[in-house]
Structure 1
Amino acid sequence: MPNKVAKIEMVISFSDIDLEGVNLPHEDALMVQVEIANRVMHRMLVDTGVSVDVISLEAYRQFGFSDDKLKPEATYLHGFLEASSSIRRTIELPVTFGDHPRQVTIMITFIVVREPYSDQRDELKEWRGKPVEDHIPFPLSEDEPTKIVQVRSLLDKEQKGKLGRLLKENSDVFAWSASDMPSIPWDIAEHRLHVDPTKKPIQQKQRNFALDRQAAIKEEVKKLSCSGFIRSEKFPTWLANVVMVPKPNGKW
C-alpha cells in the first residue's frame, strides 16, 4: 500500500502582531507576493472594490514581456476621481498564489494602462462632497443672525431676490434644533431595533469616554430628552454604549 501523505491545512490569518503601528479603524491596502508567468511580483495590491485587474505598461515591460503579445483595447479606465487612463492593451498571464505544497495557478486577464494605477482613496475623501460652485450664507432673520442657509453664489440679483423672499416667507418650516421637531408622526419618521426575540439581550459593559466626548454626549442627550424623542429607562434588560461619530466641522 502506498504511504499516506499527511494533509496540510494552511490558514491565512492576521494576529495582533500584524496590527502593530496601525491606527484603527484603518483603510490600509492589502499587499501580497505572487508569481506572474514565473516572475516574482513582490507587491500586488488586493482591492476588492475594483472590477478589473490592472498592471502599468512600465511594470509590464520591466518583467521583460514583449509588446507584440498585447491585444488591442480601444477604451479608457476611469478612476475614483473621474480621471481616465488610456488602456494600451490587455494580456492574459498565469498568476501563482501561495507556496508549495499549497499553491494554485490561474489565468488572469490584465488591463495594461499607460500610467501607473495609483490608490486615490485619500484624494477621494477630499473630492467627495465638494459643491459644483461656491455657496454664500443667507440670513433668514435680522433678529436671529444664527439662522442662516446657504444659497448659490452664481445667482443673479433678480434670482437671489426672489429666492430670498421665498425663504423668508417660509422660514417657519426650517428646524434649527431637535426642539423644533416635537411630536413627529410615526408614519413620517420612526426608528426600530430589528432584534431577534428568541435571542437573549446583551448588556454591554459601560465604556469610559474622554471628557470632551462626555460633554458632547450629555449635551445631545439633553436636547433629545427635552424634545421628547427619548426618555429615561430604569433597569433595562438591553444596554448599548453610545457611538460617537465625528462631523466634518470637527464636532460630534
Structure 2
Amino acid sequence: MSVARHPVEADDWECKRVKGMASPILGFSDKDKVGTIQPHNDALVVTLRIGGYDVRRVLVDQGSAVEVMYHDLYKGLKLRPEDLTAYNPPLVSFEGKTVILKGQIRLLIQTDSNIVEVDFIVVDAYSPYTAIVARPWLHTLEAVSSTLHQKVKYPSEGQVKEVVGDQAMARQCMERFFQVGSELSPQEKEKLIDFLRKNVDVFAWDAYEASGVVLNFICHHLNVSPVVTPKKQPPRRLSKEHADAMREEVMKLKKAGAIKEVFYLEWLANTVVVKKKSGKWRVCVDCTDLNKACPKDPFPMPQIN
C-alpha cells in the first residue's frame, strides 16, 4: 500500500483556506458581564433597525417561535391594513387568552451590515415592548443570546459581532403601568383602561421619549430676579467614571432634543453624579445659586379686594 502525501506548501495553504472559511466560535464569559448590573433577572431588551427605523424596546425571546409586532410599532411605521397578509393560526398570550391578530408583514431587520427578512405577526394588544424577535431571527442570523450577559452574538465577515441589551430599558418596560382609581365603577374602569391601552403611545415614560416638543406650545421660564448677578461656579474635577456617566447622559438628552448646547453662558452650574440603587448613575445639576436667585411667591393668586 502506498500513501500519497501533499507537498508541505499545499498542506499549509489548505489549512489556511479551511481556517478562513470556518465560522468564529460564539460564547460568553465573565468578561461579557462587564458593564451589566449583577445579579439580575432582567429580560434582554435591545434596539434594532426594523423597516429602516431604529426601534427601541425590542424583546429578544429565544423561547418564542414567531416574531411579534405590537400596535405601537405598527402605528409608528405608518403601516396600513393593505400592507398586511392574512395570518390564520390563533395566537395565545401569556395569560392564556386568544390575541386579536391584524395580519402578517415581512420586514427587514438590520444589525450592522447584516440584513435579515423577518415575518412579523401584527397583534392588536398592549405591551410594554414594541416587538418580539424570536428563534426564526436568531437562527437566520446564526446568533446566540444570553439574558445573563445581556448580549446577542452572531458571526459576520469572519468576526463575532454583538447586539448589547439595555438593562435600564428592560426595567422600565417592567415598571410601565397606570394607577386607576379604586372608586371607579367597573364600567368606567373598563372604559378608562381600554382608552389608555389605545393611546399608550402618546405617553413619554422617560426624558428620552419626550422629544420634539414645540416651544410655541409649551415652554417653561425660570422666575429669576432681575437684580441678581448671574454666577458661574468654578469647575469641579470629575473622576473618569463620573465624567463618562455625565457625557453619556448629555448625549442621550441632546439626541432626544431635551437640551441644546449654548455658547453665551451667563449662569454656569456644575453637574453632580449620584449612584442610584439600581447601580446606574443619576446626573444632576447643582442649582444652589440659581434657586437663591428665584424669589418664592407664597401667594400665586392675585390679591382679591
Indicate the TM-score class for this superposition, using the shorter chain for normalisation: 0.3 to 0.5
TM-score by length of 2: 0.31
Q: Which structure has the greater CA radius of gyration? A: 1
Which has the larger share of helix? 2
TM-score by length of 1: 0.37
